């Protein structure tokens, strides 16, 4: 600090010295060449303007006074005397002082403006570099113009490398075709862009980004600049992928394709023994009531009826086993995390329907022993049912609340509460039956399967109508017991 001050002090001294020398030389030259006083005055004025540009009033006034004194002494009669005898003697000092004051004032203002602008620029830059997003801008032709600090840190590229979008900026090869065509379309049409693509991060991983860009247009509607943000949505994508895969894996969902297919295969499997039973029954009657009754045939027919009846029963049993999940992978599980996974997946879809998803998850829930995929299914099923129950509601409070806590017996209790059409007039137990549905589409297996999963986990699933609108579906799960 002191170093700075000393430097500044000596710099000022040097400036004064230089200025004085310059002024002196100017005066000397003019004197020697006998320059017209008015001309000299103008020359001094120029000198004063130049000095005033530095912005210091004191210096400027000083120089003005010195210049006037020089003018008066050396260039106006009486020479070598300072006296106000001619017009110039009055006009000159006024001019000098006015000029220096005006210019220094102006310069001060200009400097202040510049300082403000710079401060604003710095502030803005700080904001853009700080906000948690990758921010960038591009020219109307699509080439990169600006990349914020986060963008550079994320990709690990230098500014020069980053601006060369065709070069080191690595979009995943599976996404690049689609991304480029969407970007080109946006550039041509001047419409905002929203797309997803994988970008390589500094550590080499490719991560999903949600890329949004909006155009800035001038008065004639021509695009002047593109501003964009890229948000890391890798976690969300992973969650979606996991759930999608688990749904594909989930035996009872994969195999139970459509109600039509299921019905067709049941029909065929069951129709065979039924057909044999009916034929045998009819034959039996005919053999007994015909002109020549044949007891042996009738007996055989009756035996076959019994056998075929059993076969039909086996078919039904096989189908039920087929529908029930046979293998489960139970492990220690914290149900709040499972709930959060489902919320990530469904929040956007629910928001799209104007429904808010809220959670009230107890912090100190014990772990449970459960199959994460299956329990995800159950929660997802209840959430989707709740969303659908509220879809037809007018714009009342559309909120779905998922809560978790420990109940009186120490079991983990998860509740999904909606404010929808409710369960009035429906059998609170019958809704869990297979093939029960109030929807025009769907098999009606959701609640039946959910209940069977919960019961397989040693818990219970039941529904309670709310005091207000809607219903609450709750289920319990057993605590995880450490191996003794």
Q: What residues make contact with other proteins under the rule CB under 8 A?
A: 264, 267-268, 271-280, 282-283, 286-287, 290, 294, 297, 300-301, 304, 307-308, 311
End-to-end CA distance of the chain: give it in Å, rounded.
71
Which of 167, 313 has the CB closer to other proteins?
Answer: 313
Which of 268, 320 has the CB closer to other proteins?
Answer: 268
Residue 25: both structure tokens together:
């030389």
Torsion angle of the four alpha carbons 454, 456, 459, 460, in this order, in degrees rounded to the nearest 10: 60
Which of 94, 285 has the CB closer to other proteins?
Answer: 285
Which of 185, 275 has the CB closer to other proteins?
Answer: 275
Residue pair 469/422 in contact (Cβ under 8 Å)? The answer is yes
55 sits in the region (left: phi over 0; alpha: psi -120 to 50; else beta) called left
Shortest separation between residue 315's beta carbon and other proteins, angstroms: 12
Shortest separation between residue 275's beta carbon and other proteins, angstroms: 4
Cβ atoms within 10 A of the Cβ of 40, count?
A: 23
Element (H, E) at 218: none
Q: Which long-range contacts (CB under 8 A, 24 or more apart) does 182-186 make?
A: 183/142, 183/213, 184/142, 186/213, 186/215
Shortest separation between residue 435's beta carbon and other proteins, angstroms: 19
Shortest separation between residue 325's beta carbon and other proteins, angstroms: 27
CA atoms within 13 A on the CB side of 69: 8
Burial of 386 (0-12, 13-18, 19+ CB in 10 A): buried
Q: Where are the beta strands (DSSP E) in 14-173?
A: 134-138, 144-147
Residue pair 455/379 in contact (Cβ under 8 Å)? The answer is no
CA atoms within 13 A on the CB side of 155: 29
Which of 175, 297 has the CB closer to other proteins?
Answer: 297
Shortest separation between residue 259's beta carbon and other proteins, angstroms: 15
Shortest separation between residue 299's beta carbon and other proteins, angstroms: 11
Distance CA 473, CA 462 (A): 6
Distance CA 83, CA 76 (A): 9
Which of 304, 371 has the CB closer to other proteins?
Answer: 304
Phi, psi of 20 (to 5 degrees): -65, -45
Shortest separation between residue 450's beta carbon and other proteins, angstroms: 30
Distance CA 318, CA 321 (A): 5
Which of 224, 278 has the CB closer to other proteins?
Answer: 278
Residue 237: both structure tokens together:
């994508």
Shortest separation between residue 256's beta carbon and other proteins, angstroms: 18
Shortest separation between residue 318's beta carbon and other proteins, angstroms: 16
């Amino acid at each position: 600090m002191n170093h700075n001050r000393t430097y500044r002090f000596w710099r000022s001294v040097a400036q004064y010295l230089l200025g004085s020398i310059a002024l002196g030389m100017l005066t000397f030259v003019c004197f020697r060449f006998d320059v017209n006083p008015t001309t000299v005055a103008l020359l001094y004025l120029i000198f004063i303007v130049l000095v005033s540009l530095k912005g210091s009033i004191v210096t400027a006034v000083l120089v003005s006074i010195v210049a006037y004194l020089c003018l008066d002494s050396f260039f106006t009669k009486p020479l070598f005397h300072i006296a106000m005898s001619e017009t110039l003697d009055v006009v000159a000092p006024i001019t000098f002082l006015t000029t220096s004051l005006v210019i220094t004032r102006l310069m001060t203002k200009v400097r202040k403006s510049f300082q403000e602008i710079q401060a604003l620029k710095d502030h803005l830059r700080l904001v853009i570099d700080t906000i948690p997003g990758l921010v960038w801008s591009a020219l109307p032709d699509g080439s990169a113009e600006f990349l914020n600090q986060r963008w550079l840190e994320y990709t690990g590229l230098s500014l020069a490398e980053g601006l060369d979008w065709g070069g080191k900026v690595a979009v995943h090869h599976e996404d690049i075709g689609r991304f480029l065509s969407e970007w080109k379309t946006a550039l041509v049409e001047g419409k905002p862009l929203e797309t997803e693509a994988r970008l390589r991060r500094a550590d080499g991983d490719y991560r999903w980004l949600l890329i949004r860009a909006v155009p800035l247009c001038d008065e004639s509607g021509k695009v002047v600049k593109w501003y964009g943000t890229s948000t890391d949505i890798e976690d969300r994508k992973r969650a979606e992928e996991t759930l999608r895969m688990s749904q594909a894996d989930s035996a009872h969902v994969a195999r139970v394709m459509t109600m039509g297919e299921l019905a067709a295969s049941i029909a065929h499997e069951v129709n065979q023994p039924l057909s044999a039973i009916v034929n045998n029954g009819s034959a039996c009657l005919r053999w007994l009531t015909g002109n020549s009754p044949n007891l042996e045939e009738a007996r055989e027919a009756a035996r076959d009826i019994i056998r075929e009846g059993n076969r039909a029963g086996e078919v039904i049993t096989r189908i039920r086993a087929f529908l029930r999940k046979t293998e489960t992978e139970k492990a220690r599980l914290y149900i709040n995390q499972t709930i959060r996974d489902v919320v990530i997946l469904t929040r956007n879809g629910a928001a799209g329907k104007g429904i808010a998803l809220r959670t009230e998850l107890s912090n100190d829930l014990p772990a449970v022993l459960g199959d994460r995929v299956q329990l995800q299914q159950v929660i997802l099923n209840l959430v989707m049912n709740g969303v659908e129950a509220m879809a037809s509601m007018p714009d009342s409070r559309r909120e779905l609340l998922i809560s978790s806590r420990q109940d009186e017996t120490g079991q983990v209790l998860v509740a999904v509460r909606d404010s929808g059409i409710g369960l009035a007039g429906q059998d609170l137990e019958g809704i869990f039956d297979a093939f029960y549905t109030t929807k025009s589409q769907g098999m009606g297996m959701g609640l039946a399967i959910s209940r069977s999963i919960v019961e397989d986990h040693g818990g219970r699933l039941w529904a309670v109508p709310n005091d207000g609108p809607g219903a609450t579906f709750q289920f319990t799960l057993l605590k995880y017991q450490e191996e003794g």
